[in-house]
Amino acid sequence: MLKPLMHAFAGICGALFMTLAPESAAGASLQDRVSEEYCDPALADMPDRDRVPLERHQEAYPNKCSASARPSETVALRFDVRPDGVTDRIEAIYSTNRCFSRSAVRSVARWKYSCVPEGLKGVETTITYQLEGEGVGYHNEYDANCTIFGLSKHDWKSVSADASLGVSCKSNAVYPVECKQPSDSVVMVVLRFDVSPDGDVQNIETLKAKKECFADRAAKSLERREYAATKAGYQNIGAIFTYRKKKVLNGPDCLPVDISEASSMTYPNLKVSCRGVFRYPEKCIGKAESVETVTFLHDVSPGGAVQNIRLKETTNECFENEAWTSVIRSRYEPSDSGGKDLETTITFRLEQ
C-alpha cells in the first residue's frame, strides 16, 4: 500500500507544479516582486554594510546556561539574507560560552530585513547576554568592624569619621549572614552600654540602627565582651559596629594594562584600558605547537567597546574561539570617534 501512495503523492505534486509553473513564468521575477513589496525607495541604494533588520528578536536568557555563565556572554554569528528579507544559513562562528550559541541562532532566525532584492551574503553580528543579579559570576565578601569610645568625650559621628578616637573591638564583631543587606553597601549600628564592677557589659541600648537584625547581633556581640573587674565599673560607653557586603567578580574578565604603553599605531589617541582574559584551551594541547597566534581586525566604538571582529590570520584554528573571547572583552579608553580596522594578536604559549 505504501508504494502506490507514494506514486500518487508524486503525481499530485507534479500536477501542482505544472499548474503553477506557467503562472510564475508569466509573472514578475522573485527579485522584482520583492523589490516592489519590501523596498522603501529611500533605502534602495543603501550600502549592504549599513542595513539593519526591521525586526530584531532576541530569545530570553537561557536558564540552563546560568550555572556556567559569566556576568556577560557574547555570541558572534554569520548569516545570509534571502531576497524576501528572511535570514538563512545562520551559524555561530565564535562564542564566549557555547551554551548560548543555540539561543543566539534562534534569535537571528526570527529577524526580518527589508529592501534586499539581491539578498545579502556573509552578514555578521554579535548578541550579548547579561546575567541579572549577582549570579554565579560574582561572590560576596563580608566584613564586620567595631570601635569603642567614651560618649562623654566624643560623639559617635566624630568617631565614625576618625576611628583613632576610640579603641578597636573588631575581635567581637562577626558579620551576621542571616541579616539581609544589599550588595556594595554599609550598615552602621551605634550602641551605648555600661560595664559592671565585675566586668560584665550591661544596660545596652541602641542609639542608631536602620536594620533591627544587625542591631540585635551587635548587642549580642557586646554581651560577650569581657572587661577586668573594677571598683566602680564604667558608664556611658559607646560602640560603633559597621557591616560591609561587597559584590566581587569571580576572576575579572578584563585585566588593567599600562595605558601609556597600550595605544594603537593607527590611532595614537585610542588606548587600551584593559585586555580581556583568556585561558589556554586544553582541547588544543595535543595538536599545538609551543607558540600559537590568532590575529583579528576589529573596530572600537567611541565608548571603548570592541565590535565588528574579523579573523585576519591564525596559526591554529583550534585557538580562534578563545582568542575571540579575549578581544571582545577588551576595553579601550573612550574617545571622540573610536577607530576602524585595528589589529590585535593573541598569543598562546604551551608550557613544557
Query: Which three cell numbers, joined as nine digits, stand for 125?
Result: 553580528
**Count of domains observed in the chain:** 3
Domain assignment of residue 22, yes or no? no
Whether residues 146 and 236 share a domain: the answer is: yes
Instruction: Using the 3D structure, point to which of 130, 163, 185 is the last residue of a domain.
Output: 130
Q: What is the CATH number of the domain that holds 102?
A: 3.30.2420.10
Q: Amino acid identity of 125?
A: T
Instruction: Using the 3D structure, point to which of 130, 161, 183 is the last residue of a domain.
Output: 130
Q: What is the CATH number of the domain that holds 172?
A: 3.30.2420
* 81 CB neighbour count, 10 Å cutoff: 24
Helix (H) or strand (E) holding 313: strand 306-314
Domain assignment of residue 80, yes or no? yes
DSSP state at residue 136:
T
Question: Residue 32: what pLDDT?
Answer: 44
Question: Residue 5: what pLDDT?
Answer: 33
Nearest to 216 by CA among 163, 178, 244: 178
Whether residues 228 and 292 share a domain: the answer is: no
Q: Are 108 and 79 in contact (CB under 8 A)?
A: yes
Q: Are 344 and 295 in contact (CB under 8 A)?
A: yes
Low-confidence ranges of the chain (pLDDT < 50): 1-38, 41-42, 44, 49-50, 133-138, 250, 259-262, 352
Q: Are 186 and 244 in contact (CB under 8 A)?
A: yes
Whether residues 229 and 278 share a domain: the answer is: no
Whether residues 38 and 125 share a domain: the answer is: yes
Domain assignment of residue 9, yes or no? no
Q: Are 279 and 331 in contact (CB under 8 A)?
A: no
In this structure, the dihedral spanned by the alpha carbons of residues 112, 114, 120 and 122, taken in order and rounded to 10 degrees, is -40
Whether residues 98 and 188 share a domain: the answer is: no
Question: Residue 184: what pLDDT?
Answer: 64
Q: Are 333 and 352 in contact (CB under 8 A)?
A: no
Whether residues 71 and 145 share a domain: the answer is: no
Whether residues 155 and 67 share a domain: the answer is: no
Residue 166 belongs to what domain range? 138-248
Whether residues 144 and 225 share a domain: the answer is: yes
Distance of alpha carbon 283 from alpha carbon 319, whole angstroms: 9
Whether residues 212 and 276 share a domain: the answer is: no
Q: Are 254 and 331 in contact (CB under 8 A)?
A: yes
Domain assignment of residue 90, yes or no? yes
Instruction: Using the 3D structure, point to which of 208, 233, 248 is the last residue of a domain.
Output: 248
Whether residues 178 and 242 share a domain: the answer is: yes
DSSP state at residue 340:
E
Question: Residue 236: what pLDDT?
Answer: 94
CA dist 291 → 191, 230, 294 (Å):
62, 73, 10
Instruction: Name beta bridge partners: 238.
Output: 149, 192
Whether residues 142 and 161 share a domain: the answer is: yes
Q: Are 138 and 72 in contact (CB under 8 A)?
A: no
